[in-house]
Amino acid sequence: MEFTCARCDKKKNIDEFFTKKYITKKNAKHKYRLFKICKECYYEKRKERYRQDSKFREISKERSKIYWRKNREKCLQKYKEWYRKNWDKLRLQRVTKINLERESLIKMLGGKCKVCSIKDFIVLEFDHIKPILNAERNFSNILREVKKYPEKFQLLCANCHRRKTLNELQEYYEKRAEMLSKVRKP
């Protein structure tokens, strides 16, 4: 059996529509009512509302939290399947997002190397103005850090960045040697 979706106007098979169970008051029997829009359109509509309606978003989040707590194993299994199926798409989304973020941060910091003024985005890097030498460096978080404390960073191209880092290292070891020599004296 085929029905026409009220939203996309396409003819679709009956199993591409949701049914809603409801109870008639008269004799308390279950009856089924077919949704006027197809499943695809239903999901689209929900997504749109989720994006626009902040109250609806809160309610949905709360509901899914409760559902997750009750059906943890099942949800986890489903999530894993979904993740595996959408891995390529998700990865592309992530990479695109990171690239856009990186680009906007580079623009914010002037868009060129502080030393040689090269403007090629591919070779530009974020440099801690105050060097971090022995602290644990976590480069996966660098974009987040630049966003949070832009005043701590400057743009350098890969070449200038390496020169600066080497100079800093040299300075650091010289200072360290000096300090050690002082300590060892009686």
Q: How far apart are CA 90 and CA 92, in angstroms?
A: 5
Residues 107, 108, 110: CA angle, nearest 5 degrees: 65
Q: Which of 5, 105, 106, 146 binds Zn ion (CB under 5 A)?
A: 5
Q: Is 146 in the site for Zn ion (CB under 5 A)?
A: no
What's the helix, strand, coil split of the chain in %, to 5?
60, 15, 20
Stretch that binds Zn ion, among 24-32, 36-44, 49-57, 129-137 (CB under 5 A): 36-44
Nearest distance in Å: CB 63, Zn ion? 24
Structure tokens at 17: 């529509």
Which residues between 78 and 117 bind Zn ion (CB under 5 A)? 113, 115-116
Nearest distance in Å: CB 168, Zn ion? 16
Q: How far apart are CA 17 and CA 95, in angstroms?
A: 35
Of residues 17 and 146, the one with the C-beta less far from Zn ion: 17
Which residue reads 């996966």 in tokens? 140
Of residues 38 and 106, the one with the C-beta less far from Zn ion: 38
Alpha-carbon torsion angle 131, 134, 138, 144, nearest 10 = -30
Total residues in contact with Zn ion, by rule CB under 5 A? 10
Nearest distance in Å: CB 100, Zn ion? 23
Nearest distance in Å: CB 21, Zn ion? 21
> In this structure, is the dihedral angle defined by the CA atoms of residues 137, 97, 102 and 143, taken in order, positive or negative?
negative
- Strand segments (E) across 42-81: none
Nearest distance in Å: CB 165, Zn ion? 13
Binding residues for Zn ion (CB under 5 A): 5, 7-8, 38, 41, 113, 115-116, 157, 160
